[in-house]
Each structure stands twice: as C-alpha cells, then as structure tokens.
Amino acid sequence: MWLTPLVLAVACGAPEQGEEAMGAEEPGEMSAEPMEEMPMETPAPVTFTLELHEMNASGIMGTANAAHTDESVEVTVEIAGVTAGEELPSHIHQGTCESGGPVVAALSPVAVSEGTGTGVTTLDPGQIPEDQPLFLQVHGADGQPVACADIPAPHDM
C-alpha cells in the first residue's frame, strides 16, 4: 500500500544533519544496544453491574460494579437509605441470596456519609471461585443482611 512508506518516514523520521541513523554504528553494522520493548496493550476489563435488593425491610438498596481483568477484580459497592456514620460489612458468599451460604471473600466495609455509602475492594481473581453460585451481600451493624444480589455465572454475563 502506498501509505506505508509515508507512515514509516513520518513515524521514524530522518536523522538530523550530523546524527547517525538509530540502531547502526556504521552502515551494515548492528548496534549492541538493546531495543526498546513496545508496551503491550492491556485488554479492557470485563465489567458488570448488579442491582442490590433490599433485605429484611431495611430500606437499603444499591448497586455493585465489578471490573475483572486477569490480574484483579475491583468491586465497588454503592448503597442508599442508610444512616450517616455507619460502616456496613459486605462479602461475596457461596450460594444465592435466597439460600444463603458461607463467605468466600470479605469486601471493604461500605462507609456511609449523608445517607449513601461506598466501599471499594480489589481482589485477586483466584479468590473468587467460578464453579459455584455466588452472591454479594451487605450486612447491617447487627450482622443481619440488609441488601443482596446474586452474581451471574461467568458464561451468563
């Protein structure tokens, strides 16, 4: 294609007067200097949003957003309908909101200010099993569940 030489000439540039061409000491000779590595593009994270539904007549609802890469899973929990000054524990559990189940991964507490709260946690992807049903649950200060969302299986996202 005729654009290729033009693009290469613009991208590489010609050496200034008195400068040598990059990568060669003398014509036909290779430089011993290591070549710069081109940065690899990081794939965009896979993201999904869960709707947290009220439990136990708490009046608390919200969302949980997850951004999943090969290196990490960042979970952001945002809730509304809570008392300012509270810190509410949140976890990822095995099972469903309806059936309940043990904690698989503890999340950062949701810090509440002026009736809304946010908690952000970064997890290692290996902490979250992919071969079982999971749910995200926020607990009140008394330990009772106040908001919950089932997490879809990876093939359902």
Q: Domain coordinates of the chain in residue numbers?
A: 46-156
Give the C-alpha separation, 92 to 136, whole Å: 4
CA distance from start to end of the chain? 41
Summarize pLDDT for 108-144 with one digit per residue, the tens: 999 999 889 999 999 998 888 888 899 999 999 889 9
Tell me the CATH class for 46-156. Answer: mainly beta
pLDDT at position 63: 97
Strand, helix or coil at 16? Answer: coil
Predicted local distance difference test score (pLDDT) of residue 32: 61
Bridge partner residues of 103 (DSSP) = 93
Answering whether pTM is above 0.75, one says no
